[in-house]
Structure 1
Amino acid sequence: MKTDAQLQQDVMTELQWDPALHAAEIGVQVHDGAVTLTGEVSSFPEKLHAETAAQRVAGLRALVPEITVKLSAFGRRTDADIAASAVHALHWTEGLPPEAVQVLVENGWIVLTGTVAWQYQREAAAESVRHLCGVVGLSNQIAIEPAHAGGASMAGIEAALRRRAPAQLRRLKVEVIGGDVILSGSVPTWADRDLATHAAWSSPGVRRVTNRIAIA
């Protein structure tokens, strides 16, 4: 098991290794395996890159992203411009029903609302707008109303977990209440945790996934 000092050094090195980041602008603090990222970056995508890079490091048990986005003069846009670009991007997003998602922009923050049938559509909507110039943050409040009315299948989700990574995921506990799925247990990496979440969301009838999986 890594010490906090080892984990801090590994995260700092991983940030420096990522060509999309200016690692000197990002601070790393670690306490009991929980990593806090601080500092300022010049774009929202860079903030997301930093969070993803930290999650790649083995031994990280929790992540607290406290990085702020401070746009340069060249990166600033009005909320109206950002909103227009977001609407255009959503219109061209494959698999997203027309007018299913609404956009609100305030001080560079995009808020997405509306209703879709699948989590992948919700994620696609967020992905289409988070990299727009001038964006400093994103709140994805799109609701999911499954077309499949019978609720989620616990057996189907458990089978999906076994297919994808049986060694890491077979011991996870799956609870299903209608369209709500609760995942619990532990896995060795964030990638395994994300894999379990994706498997649960892929089941027809899922409306909400609560991920209580620990990294251990």
Structure 2
Amino acid sequence: MHTAHLIAPSNPAEHVVDADITAAIETLLATKKGLTSHLIAVSTHEGLVKLTGYTDNLLARQRAEEIALAVRGVRGVTSTVAVRTEEIGDAELQRDVCGALADDPATDDYQVHCTVAGGVVTLSGLVQSWAEKQLVLRVLQSVRGVRAFVTDHLTIRGGEILNSDEEITIQVRELLDWDIRVNGALVEVRTADHVVHLAGTVGTAAEKDRLVAIAYQTGATRVDARDLFVAYWALGRAIRREKFSPKADDAIAAAVRDTLRFNPRMRASETLVQVHDGVVTLAGTVSNLRVKQDAEQDARHVVGVAHVHNLLKVRPERLVPDEDIGPTVAAALARDPYVGHCAVHVQVHGGQALLSGQVDSHFELEQAGDVAAGVSGVVDVNNRLEVTAPTANAEEGFISSFLGEDKRSPATPDPDHALAERIRARYCWSASLHDQEVEVRVENGRATLTGTVDTWLDRKHAAAAAHEAGAREVNNHLLVLNTAPIHKEQLAAAAAHESLA
């Protein structure tokens, strides 16, 4: 059987050529879980990637696009990938779609109506913001059998627009300055008639997409990003690190509150935000587990946040008996495109969902936990799913990875050495990790990561890439630069959490 090699660029400091970008994306699609990569074709012209073919669910199509966006050298991604799902009757799919919206704590009271015909979901009704509309689509993307959406009659609240042009510009600029996922040092923002115009340069295609999303969530009716360019040189660490200069605790707390305010799941939550030496403490009561998880993730995306203590308590707005929660979680798992085939046993005690059984990958383990956390009435998830040992790693054929120059492995390579090389090759192709100071050591299939990265998100991506390369366990000891000091016990706790994740 033919297997491709994930080959690192011959000179990481230089612009990468189209053929290498195409080869890297094809290899990543082939080795990341949740994709039928042989059905997706990749082509690249001057850094612009085009994806064609088809997948078996909407989540997989989105995942393929996100993988391409995160590859170094990619300036943009267009996709005509079609979705060909298994045949599910309209009545059954209508039930599953309505059930997904009803079971999600945020969308259960939205004024949204769905009709289904041939796998296409037509949405109508009213939502309060662009972010709420995106949330509805994300929930329905997770329903097995959905092929496409028609949203012409799903209306964002009409009437008076709350933000003026000046207010939109200010909010976009503030969110851009505080979001660790984008670098707006070279970006100009202006608004006219509620149309946001973005101009300048960012380092990655993913940053450009994130900028457009930020503009929409502040109230823009349209975003014009034709003059916002992606340039390889803008990935320079000197440019990026200017963003991470020390920040005052009061300013960090205000930025966290602003970020939480734009999350549609947080609309009914009262969250207390306190910051001391860059360590954020979230306290108060929220109505569901997904809000608690989102609040922590949103806080970690803010510049200057060194660590997050999540003390939020989950207190559902209405009491849901355990005997009702269990079947609802089981139904949500069954309709999920990724874990619907897995034999997951669900038990619920006091609102805590216990998941047991076996899945094929770490990706499916995390997906099952996320699905359970999104069900009304669930206050915590105890994920005891076990990942079955694969019979053959999808990347075992990549026995020789190339880092710098052609270094071919011997006929019978050391498995740990081969795994370490695969992990390093993934870092070399990552737009965010390629120039970070990460050391990789592998013993008995267990990867240990040491060194430094710029952000918490880089730290998380480094661990995920190691898992995807085939590590059975990851000890993540990476330190995040340009953040306030963290007490040793907090750092140890974070490292222990990452090792489990």
Q: TM-score, normalised by structure 2?
A: 0.40
Tell me the amino acid that sits aligned with residue 32 of structure 1: D
8 Å CA contact retained: 1:33, 1:62? yes
Structure 2 letter corresponding to 1:132 = V
Cross-structure match for 1:48: 293
**Match in the other structure for 2:386:** 143
1:189 matched residue in structure 2: 455
1:214 maps to what in 2?
A: 479
Amino-acid identity (%):
31
Q: Secondary structure at the match of 1:202?
A: helix
3-state SS of paired residue (2:437): coil
Deviation string, structure 1 residues 107-163 (Cα, Å, up to 9, x no partner): 111122223231111112112221111111112222223313766701101110111
Tell me how far 1:165 sits from its aligned partner: 2.9
Q: Which moved more, 1:63-72 or 1:191-200?
A: 191-200
Pick the structure with greater CA Rg.
Answer: 2
The alpha-carbon distance between structure 1 residues 92 and 194, as it changes in their structure 2 partners (threshold 3 A), is same
CA distance in 2, matches of 1:11, 1:95: 32
| Runs of 4 or more above 4 Å deviation | 149-152, 166-169
2:351 to 103, 108, 113: 108
Residue in 1 aligned with 2:48? none
- The answer on whether the counterparts of 1:144 and 1:208 sit within 8 Å (CA) in structure 2 is no
Decide which of 418, 428, 432 is 1:162's aligned counterpart: 428
Q: Which residue identity is paired with 1:129?
A: A
Indicate the RMSD between aligned Cα atoms, in angstroms.
2.3
Gaps of 5+ in 2: 1-245, 394-414, 482-501
For residue 266 of structure 2, what is the aligned residue in structure 1? 21
For these two proteins, the number of residue pairs brought into alignment is 213
* Whole-angstrom distance in 2 between the partners of 1:207 and 1:144: 9
CA distance in 1, matches of 2:299, 2:271: 11
More displaced, 100-109 or 88-97?
A: 88-97
**What code does the residue aligned with 2:475 have?**
T
State yes or no: 1:7 paired with 2:252: yes
Pairs within 5 Å for 1:198-209: 198-204=464-470, 206-209=471-474
Structure-2 change in CA distance of 1:23 and 1:188 (3 Å):
farther
Instruction: Give, in angstroms, the shift of residue 98 of structure 1.
Output: 4.4
Secondary structure class of the residue paired with 1:86: helix
Q: Does structure 1 retain, via aligned residues, the 8 Å contact 2:260–2:298?
A: yes
Task: Give the SS at the match of 2:251.
Answer: helix
8 Å CA contact 2:432–2:458 kept in 1: the answer is no
Alpha-carbon contact 1:111-1:139 (below 8 Å) kept: yes
Counterpart position of 2:326:
83
Change (3 A) 1:91 1:23: closer
Which residue does the alignment assign to 1:92?
335
| CA separation of 1:13 and 1:40: change in aligned 2, threshold 3 A | same
**Stretches of structure 1 lacking an aligned partner (at least 5 in a row):** none
Q: Are 1:60 and 2:305 counterparts?
A: yes
Task: Verify the 8 A CA contact 1:60 1:215 in the aligned structure 2.
Answer: no
Quick one: distance in 1 between partners of 2:328 and 2:389?
28
